[in-house]
Structure 1
């Protein structure tokens, strides 16, 4: 009797899932911050380049972002909200510094990196990577190169954030031991509310807002959490799956075609990302006294990575999640408002424009 053949795609997915799980467990065993994100992301990059023909459904990526939004909402209290409202001038200053630094780095990249002006400009704009790719496509920039530039920076920021927190001696296990997500929900009603908010975020908010799958659950969940009527619940297994979905989705974006398209300018893209990270770290150091917060929190808040990735590291390192989320969201909205103007300004400095 002949057994039915297993489709090659099923074999590839099985191998990917197994390798991602092993990488995640290894990094978490080594107490690497955001190991459940970094492990699957690294494995998926290798699979995307050397195996190919795999793409995680976008709804899973959006669902992963929604879970992160719920986690941010869980951290919201009236005292945290009052702190954010009191610090808004400093937050605006921090946002302006990050955008100014990204503009300077973007000008350098379009001038010497050999990439089309508008495409390079969108690729260096700090915001939610998925939102920046969509906006770049509407502006007639090459979405593949913009996506590669955005995700190279996201990966660089995630790795740098994990290394900085490790260098500061912050352990994920120590940070989450007491108040982190648990394996089993303590309040079924809170779990049901979280599931409902996640569904609303992925199906409705994502159509109405840039990065709506993340921002919708975050804003709506914050209102629920601040009301005191119900306490949101996100079990640890759901959190781990969300981390993996985000990491796999980002990693699989790096296929052979994308790598070929950006290989000639990859060193400039990586240099631009590292330079921007270093500049933001210096600005965070200057803001420590101004905002009366710790360096790790402000480093994550000003880092030019995605809101979801920075929140994951903040959650695992006991940084002030509310401040990190507030600054990242503020910058995202500012970029959405002025992003096209920033891109046009940066593009003027490209060699092919003059």
Structure 2
């Protein structure tokens, strides 16, 4: 009954947000409903296979924009791509150092919690390295929620609607949600199922999305088939991913971090603000579209950001956003352990020195 209630409320809130013109409405509505249900005491947890295949569906949708010309443009602009990835990692390191320097959190906990992306991977790594897993989880999920809300607002303010979408909204009908070529739909679902299963067995972070997106990009670039899914599938994927984000919050996490909640909000806004500043610099000096730069650098939620990018209009370079967010995920996972050790090594002596000076005073 809780799942039925969550579904009905999510559809209602998502439909209201569609009526208000909010981008990625069903995803955002599902995030808010999932978080509300969880904090009100609902004992719901999204089954792992549902989340995996929802990611695979998003990967199929993103693969449609991966054409040979687009992939060639990505290789030509590798300097901008690398600058965006590097700026996000630097911003995460600065926030982790600040939290450790001011004794808000221990160095290893601050480093894992401030890592810009890969929430589930960061929580698993934090547990393996003996950090405060509850605080890391709260930092990651809180920032993910703020990133979704702020990115949705940015898309609403800066996007240019798709002409096709405008025409479709003018003649909206419920049957349009189920339209599609049956053969193409069946092939797309088969590819999605195989890629999702492979990623699940190999335990790749965000693997279902990445494997499906890369496989689909190769197939789409080669011209072997055209990915076709009815809108109802994409809406279902958006809602499942939204529930995964929203249901990650719970009372235990909230109570454990209540005393430091103002610091957690400050650190999240600090990281988002630094990434937004780097995005503005890239827009100003590299000529990148402002919305594309913002979505490419914003720190968190590979699947969520791709969903927002796909719903952001004609100006957004979806493959560039997907490539930047994917590359950043891998870089963050590779650099997080040495970055955590570096923060502990640099901030630790400074804290000890301040303690000695305070004792002498």
TM-score (norm 2): 0.88
1:278–1:220 Cα change, 3 Å: same
SS at match of 1:183: helix
Q: Does 1:286 align with 2:275?
A: no
**CA contact 2:14–2:30 (8 Å) conserved in 1:** yes
Q: Does 1:339 align with 2:336?
A: yes
Report the alpha carbon displacement of residue 14 of structure 1 after superposing the two structures with TM.
2.0
Report the alpha carbon displacement of residue 147 of structure 1 after superposing the two structures with TM.
2.0
Report the alpha carbon displacement of residue 200 of structure 1 after superposing the two structures with TM.
2.1
Report the alpha carbon displacement of residue 239 of structure 1 after superposing the two structures with TM.
0.7
Query: Which of 325, 330, 338 is matched with 1:328 structurally?
Result: 325
* Distance (whole Å) between structure 1 residues aligned to residue 238 and residue 271 of structure 2: 25
* Distance (whole Å) between structure 2 residues aligned to residue 283 and residue 316 of structure 1: 23
Query: Which of 310, 320, 339 is matched with 2:305 structurally?
Result: 310
* Distance (whole Å) between structure 2 residues aligned to residue 83 and residue 24 of structure 1: 35
Alignment of 1:108-123 (within 5 A): 108-112=98-102, 114-123=104-113
Q: Larger Cα Rg: Structure 1 or Structure 2? A: 2
Report the alpha carbon displacement of residue 158 of structure 1 after superposing the two structures with TM.
0.9
Report the alpha carbon displacement of residue 174 of structure 1 after superposing the two structures with TM.
5.7
Encode CA deviations 1:23-48: one digit per residue, 9 max, x unaligned: 11111111112221111111111111
Report the alpha carbon displacement of residue 218 of structure 1 after superposing the two structures with TM.
0.8
1:347–1:42 Cα change, 3 Å: farther
Q: Which runs of 5+ in 1 are unaligned?
A: 1-9
Q: Does 1:55 align with 2:45?
A: yes
TM-score (norm 1): 0.90
1:67–1:257 Cα change, 3 Å: same
Encode CA deviations 1:309-353: one digit per residue, 9 max, x unaligned: 111111111221101001101111111221211122223426997
Q: Does 1:202 align with 2:196?
A: yes
Report the alpha carbon displacement of residue 184 of structure 1 after superposing the two structures with TM.
3.8
**CA contact 1:118–1:343 (8 Å) conserved in 2:** yes
1:265–1:72 Cα change, 3 Å: same
Q: Does 1:148 align with 2:138?
A: yes
Residue 228 of structure 2 corresponds to 233
SS at match of 2:257: helix
Residue 96 of structure 2 corresponds to 106
* Distance (whole Å) between structure 2 residues aligned to residue 326 and residue 264 of structure 1: 38
Q: Which runs of 5+ in 2 are unaligned?
A: 170-175, 353-361
Q: Which runs of 4+ in 1 moved over 6 A?
A: none
* Distance (whole Å) between structure 2 residues aligned to residue 200 and residue 49 of structure 1: 35
**CA contact 2:55–2:241 (8 Å) conserved in 1:** yes
**CA contact 2:180–2:229 (8 Å) conserved in 1:** no
Encode CA deviations 1:203-258: one digit per residue, 9 max, x unaligned: 21233222211111011111111110101112211111111111111111111111
Report the alpha carbon displacement of residue 135 of structure 1 after superposing the two structures with TM.
2.3
Report the alpha carbon displacement of residue 194 of structure 1 after superposing the two structures with TM.
1.9
Residue 172 of structure 2 corresponds to none
**CA contact 1:69–1:215 (8 Å) conserved in 2:** yes
1:13–1:346 Cα change, 3 Å: same
Report the alpha carbon displacement of residue 173 of structure 1 after superposing the two structures with TM.
7.1
1:263–1:351 Cα change, 3 Å: farther
Count of matched residue positions in the alignment of Structure 1 and Structure 2: 342
Query: Which of 260, 265, 273 is matched with 1:270 structurally?
Result: 265
**CA contact 1:175–1:316 (8 Å) conserved in 2:** no
Report the alpha carbon displacement of residue 197 of structure 1 after superposing the two structures with TM.
2.2
Report the alpha carbon displacement of residue 172 of structure 1 after superposing the two structures with TM.
5.7
SS at match of 2:177: coil
**CA contact 2:23–2:311 (8 Å) conserved in 1:** yes
**CA contact 2:188–2:229 (8 Å) conserved in 1:** yes
